[in-house]
Amino acid sequence: MVQSRPSHLLALTLTLIFSFFLGSRAQLSSTFYDSTCSNVSTIVRNIVQQAQSKDARIVASLTRLHFHDCFVNGCDGSLLLDDSSSIQSEKGAAPNNNSARGFDVVDNIKTAVESACPGVVSCADVLALAAEASVNLAGGPTWTVLLGRRDGTTASFSGANNLPSPRDPVSTLRSKFSNVGLSDTDLVTLSGAHTFGRAKCAFFSDRLYNFNNSGSPDPSLNTTYLATLQQNCPQGGTGDTLNNLDPSSPDTFDKNYYTNLQTNQGLLQSDQELTSDSSLASTVNSFASSQSTFFQNFGSSMVNMGNISPLTGSNGEIRSNCRKVNGS
């Protein structure tokens, strides 16, 4: 019996190592709530649809929340936490402040889900499900959402300030995506979420008047489009005016974002930058010529993004209120 213990310990050690390298990705599952909250997807979709009927822009905003959550310490719902004595909210970081929106819709979803299945579904999973419903309700693809994330108990204000920026060059965008395990294809594909939604003048006005401190507009901007944007965003204005990210079909999820890039009508610098690199531009052209190719890739890239460092098992918690840590 004594002699057999090392082999048992070895087997146990190998099992633990194997489990570790499988990682939390393997623990996410499309059937995670099948026995505990089987109608969660329907609940989420219904509330997103109600919100969309009152505000066409909200589906883009909800999709962005999932993106901004996952890129900061993984998909853990940290973006949803309000300021408290122990937490500096990510909502106050520059990329989110007076920009990220839809938190009230997330609250409504969480309330409905808690009513149906108390203490079961995480806020992080609510964001993942809301993003898929939002894209599909706007005319975009559907995909199988993997579930089982748990909610974090901390936020990262500094991490939120390092989100991919509308002024990032390609090299920086690549680095920020690579740092969370996403590829160049994911970069081009997920940028396609700018096929719907709005952006304030403040996020791109330097392109219109003083690009890279040159005293002149961004030379890559389509001149007709430039004139339109200068009308919407006068020099010295407040910077708060909203502009369609996709001027051709602003509330529809389609491939027009990529055809806009082909004619130098990307609203943000980070959008148009995708055509400055031959490899990325090839993907842009592929999606511009085939909406089905874009849609298929978008679903896959959203799954990849949703797999960024989720908390699973006994890590984290299931928040009862998405805005605060349990017991606070």
Measure the CA–CA gap between 312 and 328, rounded to whole angstroms: 21
Q: How far apart are CA 84 and CA 143, in angstroms?
A: 36
Active site residue 68: yes
CA distance 23 to 198: 36
CA distance 323 to 173: 29
Closest by alpha carbon to 265, among 290, 248, 280?
A: 248
- CA atoms of 127 and 44, how far apart (whole Å): 9
- What does the block give as tokens for 319? 């928040």
Q: Please compute Rg for the chain using Cα positions.
A: 21
Cα 46 to chain centroid, rounded: 20
Query: For residue 305, how many C-alpha atoms fall within 13 Å in the half-sphere facing its CB?
Result: 34
Tokens 């706007």 correspond to: 138
Residues in the chain: 328
188 touches 274 (CB < 8 A): yes
- State the amino acid at position 66 in one-letter form: H
CA distances from 199 to 56, 134, 196, 254, 277 (A): 14, 18, 10, 18, 24
The catalytic position among 8, 66, 68, 194 is 68
Where in the sequence numbering do the catalytic residues fall?
68
